[in-house]
Structure 1
Amino acid sequence: MSTKTIAILATLDTKAEEAAWVKDRIEALGGKALLIDLGVVGQPGIAPDVSREEVAEAGGKPLAQLLASPTRQEASPVMIAGATKLLLAKVEAGDVHGVLGMGGTQGTSNGCAILQALPYGLPKVMVSTVASGDTSSFVGIKDIAMFPAVGDLLGLNPFTRRILANAAGAVWGMAQVESVPVAPKGDKPLIGMTNLGVLTEGAMHAVERFRERGYEVIVFHAVGAGGLAMEQMMKEGIIGAVFDYALGEISDELFHGLRAANSERLTVAASLGLPQVLCPGGAEHIGLLVEPNQVPEAWKDHQVVFHNPIILAPRLSTEQWCQVAREIGKRLQGVTGKTVMMLPHKGTSRYGIDGGPLCDHASDEVFFAALREALPGSVEVIDRNLAAEDPDFVDEAVDRLIGLVEG
């Protein structure tokens, strides 16, 4: 195994003993450790490789200035920015091959903010006292492995030694992985594709068709984080073409569903000039987290189906559906070309086809008309008397995207 360097993020005034143990474990495995001090107020209990003074300076404010009237509110953004800047430079130079952070609530928040800024594929581990609950705000859309500390990180004992040794072994082991680049192989761009459970058969068919043509595909579950991760990978140059098959994240953002993304969703490919084929798949309904098998009062006059006992999928009214159309059109105003919108008139998801629990073709037609009106003229619109999962519909979507890439 080759020697790799693991950066350790810790506040060395309160976590020096733990950081020293992790450093020893990494070195015992044959690696190198780079201690980065994120502390501000207390004195470090072990000598860092990157001092808090260096981190603060890189973050745009001298440590002495932070110490004049120290508050977490002022210090955290500076230390996060500084550590991020320094780490990104070291990763880019090939000097750091993995990062391990540790902490309680504050340490987890600061450490994970730094980890979220690092490239996909770089090993990232956070040992945290708050990793047993909802970690979505800490992980975000990045590939961060959360290790529950179980006990508090306040000094070493037989239990915390083992937990920290496991985490050190995990990040060091990840760093040994060779020849598995995130970037696409060859000269064909990596394709990003969104999907929902009500479109999975079509998505599987699309992946197979892309593979037959020599393209690899990353499929994202379009439940908020999925769409955002896809667009982040566009920004990082990982994804070079897009089949945005499932646009339910837009509907959920407008009507407070659990699949909501954010206001940037659906704007990134256009801003980067990437070729894209879109379909309003799964956007006729939203997803709501509910009490088992209970329909909220506000949705009792809508067509509904339970995706499972605690997730309700109510169909939008025609007016709500048209609001989605206008929002999609608004977000695509920056498109200058290489964009196709495909409209499946026999159903935008499995729920909306003939016999489906949310079927309403009359409402669909009003939506399609509203979408046509809202889209800029630079978007080519294709109408097909097919459902979104029909193989012929998917085949054409795949062919058109490849045509935009290779044309």
Structure 2
Amino acid sequence: MARKSITIIGTLDTKGEEIEFAKEIIEGQGVDVHVVDTGVMGVPEFDPDTTAAEVAEAGGERLEDLRENHERGAAMDVMGRGATEIALQLYDDGVLDGVLGLGGSGNTSIATAAMRALPVGVPKFMVSTVASGDIEPYVGARDITMMYSVADIEGLNQLSRRIISNAALATVGMVANEADFETEEKPTIGITMFGVTTPCVQTAREYLEDHGYETIVFHATGTGGRAMEDLVRQGVIDCVLDVTTTEWADEHVGGVFNAGPDRLDAPGEVGIPHVVSVGALDMVNFGPPDSIPEEFDGRTFHHHNPQVTLMRTTPQENSEIGEIIAEKLNEASGPVAVYLPLQGVSLIDVEGEDFYDPETDEALFEAIRDHLDSDIELVEMDTDINDEEFALAMAKHAERFAEASTSNPAATGGDSDV
């Protein structure tokens, strides 16, 4: 059996001592190490396996030019691209089983760029001075483990030795051990969920799993939607049951759980089946009440928990969101069906609850009716989204789509790296 290998990405001109310590810890566990130097300005403290000049060249520039320009941001971009290319090549060559990064904001940006390019499931561990803050830009929609370094990564001491050795051993543990579980090959359906669409998703998921499908449920908090569509593009997912398209409300109105302007694109680009509903489009998400922008004073709010405040969408917003969703789906190259629950789009958009507003919902429904191409199946049901009848109807439609798609390999997204 071939020895496992961990790639360490770091700046050997400023963090060489710490990286060499991590290297020794890993090699002491019987695992090989490949060091990628991303330092730009100084001399490496020991010889790497991939030099900074090679990283810069892989990123499209000469190291000498980066040094002469003295533009740190531009240099970080180049080294991030280069480290990504190097990591992907090592992975393709079968000599990268996991990645460990050490550094401040600069190398955190570089190393996590490479990590985000690697498939889900490849161990990725980043020790960073910025890991206790907003890490979304570094993690994105990938399975990156972030560890706060507590102190700066500057020299070895009783604290840094413990932090770095813990990180090194954790990475070794992920790389060197195989979990004892079996994965049965089944067609996979990705499903989007929010707390306020949970009953619908639970019913649909149970039906699909009972009928021989693997399901992966994604929390529609922005990164969840991006993660799902990323896995669609990787070929991991064969069909999407998009119950909860709420991320478009945040994207359009300005909430905190937006998934970006490409949300809803991936299934259509790849050509896999896409069953879509309007779950939780009655709400825009913000943090605690004191974090809500003043421009929204006077709107209808719902206190979800101490960290999340929900704001009811307006008829105008819903009409605009409905048009966006319809136009997105019109571009799909694969089969699409749209389901509208006429009695409410979330648990709090039913009679007696805070966001119950049939006229506002109707603005959403009418926009979808008006702008959706006639060759896309539109199903309207006189239930709310969490009604068992509605959930089963969507699940059965996804099942029909998936059966047709998986019986035709050319219609699926391709092979999975996961």
The verdict on a shared fold, with TM-score over 0.5 as the criterion, is yes
Q: Which runs of 5+ in 2 are unaligned?
A: 405-418
Q: Is this contact kept in 1: 2:190–2:217, CA < 8 A?
A: yes
Give the 3 Å change call, closer, same or farther, for CA 338–164 of structure 1 in structure 2. Answer: same
User: Which of 387, 392, 395 in structure 1 is aligned with 2:389?
Assistant: 392
Q: Which moved more, 1:392-401 or 1:73-82?
A: 73-82
Q: Name the structure 1 match of 2:89.
A: 89
Q: Which amino acid aligns with 1:22?
A: A
Q: Name the structure 2 match of 1:44.
A: 44
Q: Name the structure 2 match of 1:5.
A: 5
Describe the superposition over 1:19-59 as per-residue Cα deviations: whole angstroms up to 9, x where unpaired: 11111000111101111100111111111011112111221
Q: Name the structure 1 match of 2:408.
A: none
Q: Name the structure 2 match of 1:143.
A: 143
After TM superposition, give the deviation of residue 64 of structure 1 in Å: 2.6
Q: Name the structure 1 match of 2:270.
A: 272
Q: Name the structure 1 match of 2:54.
A: 54
Q: Name the structure 1 match of 2:109.
A: 109
Describe the superposition over 1:143-166 as per-residue Cα deviations: whole angstroms up to 9, x where unpaired: 111111111111111221111110
In 2: Cα distance, 1:261 partner to 1:369 partner: 24
Q: Name the structure 1 match of 2:412.
A: none
After TM superposition, give the deviation of residue 245 of structure 1 in Å: 0.7
User: Which of 289, 314, 318 in structure 1 is aligned with 2:315?
Assistant: 318
Name the SS of the counterpart of 2:85 in structure 1. Answer: helix
Q: Name the structure 2 match of 1:328.
A: 325
Q: Is this contact kept in 2: 1:335–1:379, CA < 8 A?
A: no
Q: Which moved more, 1:193-202 or 1:281-290?
A: 281-290
In 1: Cα distance, 2:93 partner to 2:213 partner: 30
Q: Which amino acid aligns with 2:231?
A: M
Q: Which amino acid aligns with 2:62?
A: P
Q: Is this contact kept in 1: 2:80–2:109, CA < 8 A?
A: no
Give the TM-score normalised by the residue count of structure 2: 0.92
Describe the superposition over 1:329-368 as per-residue Cα deviations: whole angstroms up to 9, x where unpaired: 2222312441110011111111111222211223322321
In 2: Cα distance, 1:158 partner to 1:325 partner: 57
After TM superposition, give the deviation of residue 276 of structure 1 in Å: 0.9
Name the SS of the counterpart of 2:383 in structure 1. Answer: coil
After TM superposition, give the deviation of residue 254 of structure 1 in Å: 1.0
Q: Which amino acid aligns with 2:289?
A: E
In 2: Cα distance, 1:31 partner to 1:297 partner: 55
Describe the superposition over 1:84-110 as per-residue Cα deviations: whole angstroms up to 9, x where unpaired: 111112112221100000001212122
Give the 3 Å change call, closer, same or farther, for CA 55–324 of structure 1 in structure 2. Answer: same
Q: Name the structure 2 match of 1:377.
A: 374
Give the 3 Å change call, closer, same or farther, for CA 132–295 of structure 1 in structure 2. Answer: closer
Q: Which runs of 5+ in 1 are unaligned?
A: none
Asked whether 1:248 is paired with 2:246, we answer yes
Q: Which amino acid aligns with 2:312?
A: R
Q: Is this contact kept in 1: 2:336–2:376, CA < 8 A?
A: yes
Q: Name the structure 2 match of 1:306.
A: 303
Give the TM-score normalised by the residue count of structure 1: 0.94
After TM superposition, give the deviation of residue 274 of structure 1 in Å: 1.0
Q: Which amino acid aligns with 1:340?
A: A
In 2: Cα distance, 1:162 partner to 1:71 partner: 34
Q: Is this contact kept in 2: 1:387–1:393, CA < 8 A?
A: yes
After TM superposition, give the deviation of residue 397 of structure 1 in Å: 0.6
Give the 3 Å change call, closer, same or farther, for CA 296–34 of structure 1 in structure 2. Answer: closer
User: Which of 191, 194, 198 in structure 2 is aligned with 1:193?
Assistant: 191
Q: Is this contact kept in 2: 1:335–1:378, CA < 8 A?
A: no
Give the 3 Å change call, closer, same or farther, for CA 157–309 of structure 1 in structure 2. Answer: closer
Q: Is this contact kept in 1: 2:283–2:312, CA < 8 A?
A: yes
Q: Which amino acid aligns with 1:335?
A: A
Q: Give the total of aligned pairs.
A: 404
After TM superposition, give the deviation of residue 299 of structure 1 in Å: 4.3
Q: Name the structure 2 match of 1:226.
A: 224
Name the SS of the counterpart of 2:164 in structure 1. Answer: helix
In 2: Cα distance, 1:297 partner to 1:60 partner: 45
Q: Which amino acid aligns with 1:233?
A: L
**What's the % identity of the aligned pairs?**
37
Computed over aligned residues only, the root mean square deviation of the Cα atoms, in angstroms, reads 2.0
After TM superposition, give the deviation of residue 301 of structure 1 in Å: 4.5
Q: Which amino acid aligns with 1:48?
A: P
In 2: Cα distance, 1:150 partner to 1:298 partner: 38
Q: Is this contact kept in 1: 2:267–2:334, CA < 8 A?
A: no
Q: Is this contact kept in 2: 1:337–1:379, CA < 8 A?
A: no
Q: Name the structure 2 match of 1:133.
A: 133
